[in-house]
Structure 1
């Protein structure tokens, strides 16, 4: 049972090396690593040329990250596709084998786990929600990390791959369409580490909800009976997220301590 790990990169040789090393450390024996470099000028092509023949790579200009991801998918021959961009790494040496065995036990169209958000050697958060709630996801209140998501190759192409005109929201827009075709298999398992310095990791909450509204419109998806109500619910979740973040600020600076009863 073959898994195709697809990595896109552009002028990020150090991050690319980290991802390649992470794939090499996986204990699953049948992994196909495909690397699509966008014509980098930082020595990435020289590095790729020195890799073993088992790594299938190309370095040339493309139409952007999702064009590159689709290109990688056309090069793939595995049963499952796993998109791990440069600087993203698997959480442990058994991440791929865990998913592979789950697929062997019960074939699925797509699935996802959890992603640890890191900044250097520091863990700064966790991405992914268990269990999956379709309506909340479609409205924008639940984010699925693409680094911790896997797709059966036939299922991926039944959806015609990623849209290439939606910017960074194409990840979630694709999974919107996937969720309407089939519910994901979900694992309460950390599968990867996501580099917080990458593109899309420092965007505002409003940018996320705005993009999700655009994605619903593009895909022709309506969650409630009325588009205006979908928008209102998205705005509600954005405001809830904003208030939650503001409320946490003084709590981070708090210094909890015991107080004697007479000073309580």
Structure 2
């Protein structure tokens, strides 16, 4: 069993160092790290030398975060894949060690745990609720909102044999991917172990209208065109609420 931790980044040298340092403290060590940088200008070599980990590093232009993540998948040699943002960190030093039974469970292709947002005072109340704790849901609610935090998700690599992230989505490619897995009735295990602490400056936390346009498109493509007006109402309502609160 081996885990591949895939980290897309761009012009985030300090954040990448903090992220890698978090990983280096894990007591479980059967993993590889794949950093896919979008062609940043900076001294990444100093970071790679400073962190005592074996890291596959690629720096070249890409068409966005999901293109980078797909590159990471193609380079991965692990049985399991985990996608980590540079502003994410594992919740504690024993997170990966505690997941060993799930990695070895042949009946599970996807397991998901909660995350905690490191929110700021001016963040949306939707991020700050439950003291930042976000618990995943694998249910029909996925049609209303993204109920699956990618920082809490571990995918068996076989799930990427039939599909990868759709790069036409710039913000919600993981939502589209997970919605498709839900429609395929992929075996899932929801666990209680808190996986990571996460920043709130990611693309999906900007709450601009382009995000909701993507949401309308991906839901329509995953269902039927007749549902598009419903998805438009849902998206518009969420957009207004998150701008207000």
Alignment TM class, shorter chain as reference: 0.7 to 0.9
CA RMSD of aligned residues (A): 2.8
Residue number in structure 2 paired with 1:136: 141
Distance (Å, rounded) in 1 between the aligned partners of 2:145 and 2:232? 7
DSSP 3-state at the match of 2:99: helix
Q: How does 1:1-264 map to 2 (within 5 A)?
A: 1-48=1-48, 50-52=50-52, 54-119=54-119, 124=128, 125-130=132-137, 132-133=138-139, 135-137=140-142, 139-159=143-163, 161-181=164-184, 182-204=186-208, 208-217=211-220, 220-222=221-223, 227-229=225-227, 231-232=229-230, 235-236=233-234, 239=237
Q: CA deviation at 1:146?
A: 0.9
Distance (Å, rounded) in 1 between the aligned partners of 2:93 and 2:210? 34
Distance (Å, rounded) in 1 between the aligned partners of 2:237 and 2:63? 35
Say if 1:6 and 1:33, in contact at 8 Å, map to a contact too. yes
Unaligned runs of 5+ in 2: none
Q: TM-score, normalised by structure 2?
A: 0.83
Q: TM-score, normalised by structure 1?
A: 0.78
Distance (Å, rounded) in 2 between the aligned partners of 1:91 and 1:18? 13
Residue number in structure 2 paired with 1:256: none
Residue number in structure 2 paired with 1:254: none
DSSP 3-state at the match of 1:167: coil
Q: Greater Rg, structure 1 or structure 2? A: 1
TM-superposition CA deviations, 1:111-150 (whole Å, max 9, x none): 22112111479994233434x21x220x233421111111
* Residues paired across the two proteins, number: 237
Distance (Å, rounded) in 1 between the aligned partners of 2:243 and 2:205? 16
